[in-house]
Structure 1
Amino acid sequence: MADLWMPGATRLDIGDHAPCDGGPAKCVPHITWDLNATAATPQDLVPYENLRRFFTGVGKGLAPHLLWNPFTGAVTQFVPATSRSKSLADKPGGTRTNRAGSVVLQIEALFFPYARVGKEVYPRLVDTPCTGWPEILDWVRSWGVPDRWPNGRPESCSRDEGTWETQAGWYPHKAVPENDHDDPLTWPAFTIAKPPAATKCLEPYPGENFFMNGAAPAFGRRSSVFTRMGERLVARGCGRYRVGPGPVLGQADVDSYEAWQREYNAAHHKGWSGSALRWPPGRETWDALEVPKA
């Protein structure tokens, strides 16, 4: 299962989560376009922190999933992948643009044409270093968004609502129904798939008895397994920790794992209830959590 929060991104959860409607998985790229510069009058790039403050403050109602600085690779995430964000215009009636898919991931690149950084001027987004793009692409792929532009690349795209409603892929802001912005103008190419990674070294399911003391959770038991388990629960967006996690098993571990069981149950339509959603961990959810081996 993909990570709700992109690994390596700074997490600034603004709340206001709401589900998507289901359907083809999509990603919509934008540029922030903070200033109108030209080749004759370039302007300094707006500080990244300004946009972070905007999307957590007065611009909260326009926040995307990710804010990306293509010059440094910095990424901030404001809502989890399965929540809609609000960077698209959504008129009453018709397609609910921000929700029209199993996910509708939205990425704002910190950029405007003829942005100046130091002594260099960058006419197009693709002229920047695009630092961090491979990591973003990997995360978007993990949510089932294919490497294709159904309505065309940003340089030349259409706004076909039938395609939008039925086909998964990447849609420039300009190509989304009910929207009339021209961004992102360009976007980096899909990178060549990485060679298969080495087999992950994962912690095998330790068995129910490892987690229990008779009929009760084994509170007070110490193990690095609990630390690594908790770190994965946090990465999945299920952490319920005020301190930690680990290495001593506590109530926060139980609460976090039960949140993971509920999420897994809903995502995979298992139909579990009662004790199947309570501590201790079972083999299926443990294997899906992918706890790394020490």
Structure 2
Amino acid sequence: MADAWLPGAGRIPVTLDGGRLKGGAPRVVWFSSESDPRLVSARSTAHDLARQGRPAHLVWNPCAGEIVHLLPATLAGCLLDDPVRGEGRICLQIMVVALSREPFTTGPLAGLDLIMRWLDTWGVPRRWPAGPPLPAPQSYHSERRRRPWSRGGHFGASQVPESLQADPGALDIRRITGQDTPVLELPRPRQVVAAGGPVGRPCLPGQSPTPDSATDLLSRRLARDTEPFLTPDPV
């Protein structure tokens, strides 16, 4: 069973949370604090968020490997607004002590394995349905579409529907979720459809039918053309 608190992380108790979760695909949203991780600690950032009434679930300093936990995974965080912050079986918010102009994936990622293993226990898919987050300030114009969001997985704050945030910058998503992470979502294969229904193997957009598909189509056409033509009996 998944643990509501990240084992091994420090904790800072807070009294404010984002309310109950509404169910749906599990997801995680990555933020950046816009502070230098070489100068600012995760604990200091976590205290600032708590004082502001904006607690995230985790605050992580990737240079020091310091992780501080403020809210259990079973409650919504406060860095996003309603209703999106409560969407999902879990909707984890991770504040990374980092700068958008210097994305945290360009430096050390101490402690990331611990975080990813915990996310795996919650069933968060290792994919980025909206693709890699855009760099700032281009990220202010991100599409923030509902369809990728509904699939669950990993998102930058700049990709969340109804969000106005531009962080965390142009992340190298494969350094977070692994080298097998697709950078772009591939279209699903489509089938060649004849009058009698789908035949042959699926074809990708722009491809011609496979030889087997073409042969099958020709066989159907010949069978149709060679059917006996029946004339009515004389009266």
TM-score, scaled to structure 2: 0.66
User: Could you tell me which of 81, 101, 121 is aligned with 2:88?
Assistant: 101
Q: CA offsets, 1:17-65, max 9 Å, x none?
A: 4320001101000110137xxxxxxx963343431221232x2x21110
Whether the 8 Å contact between 1:145 and 1:169 is mirrored in structure 2 is yes
Q: CA offsets, 1:54-93, max 9 Å, x none?
A: 1232x2x211100001011110111100100011133xxx
User: Could you tell me which of 40, 48, 56 is aligned with 2:42?
Assistant: 48
Whether the 8 Å contact between 1:154 and 1:172 is mirrored in structure 2 is yes
Q: Which residue of 2 aligns with 1:65?
A: 57
Residue 71 to residue 151, structure 1, CA distance change in 2 (3 Å): same
Q: Which residue of 2 aligns with 1:258?
A: none
Matches within 5 A, 1:263-282: none
User: How many Å separate the matches in 2 of 1:89 and 1:179?
Assistant: 8
Matches within 5 A, 1:248-287: none
Residue 125 to residue 21, structure 1, CA distance change in 2 (3 Å): same
Matches within 5 A, 1:208-223: none
Q: Which residue of 2 aligns with 1:32?
A: 33
User: How many Å separate the matches in 2 of 1:135 and 1:191?
Assistant: 14
Q: 1:127 Cα shift?
A: 1.8
User: Could you tell me which of 119, 141, 150 is aligned with 1:140?
Assistant: 119
Q: Does 1:131 align with 2:110?
A: yes
Whether the 8 Å contact between 1:134 and 1:191 is mirrored in structure 2 is no
| Structure 1: runs of 5 or more not aligned | 36-42, 91-95, 115-122, 194-294
User: How many Å separate the matches in 2 of 1:25 and 1:112?
Assistant: 26
Q: Which residue of 1 aligns with 2:211?
A: none
Letter in 2 for 1:162: R
Q: Which residue of 1 aligns with 2:75?
A: 83
Q: Which residue of 2 aligns with 1:20?
A: 21
TM-score, scaled to structure 1: 0.53
User: How many Å separate the matches in 1 of 2:65 and 2:87?
Assistant: 28
Letter in 2 for 1:176: V
User: How many Å separate the matches in 2 of 1:28 and 1:183?
Assistant: 10
Select the structure that is richer in strand: 2
Letter in 1 for 2:153: G
Whether the 8 Å contact between 2:16 and 2:55 is mirrored in structure 1 is no
Whether the 8 Å contact between 1:15 and 1:79 is mirrored in structure 2 is no
| Structure 2: runs of 5 or more not aligned | 136-141, 181-235
Q: CA offsets, 1:129-157, max 9 Å, x none?
A: 11001110111111111000111122476
Aligned length: 170
Q: CA offsets, 1:152-206, max 9 Å, x none?
A: 1224764111332x2111111011011121111115331379xxxxxxxxxxxxx
Who wins on radius of gyration, i.e. which is larger? 2
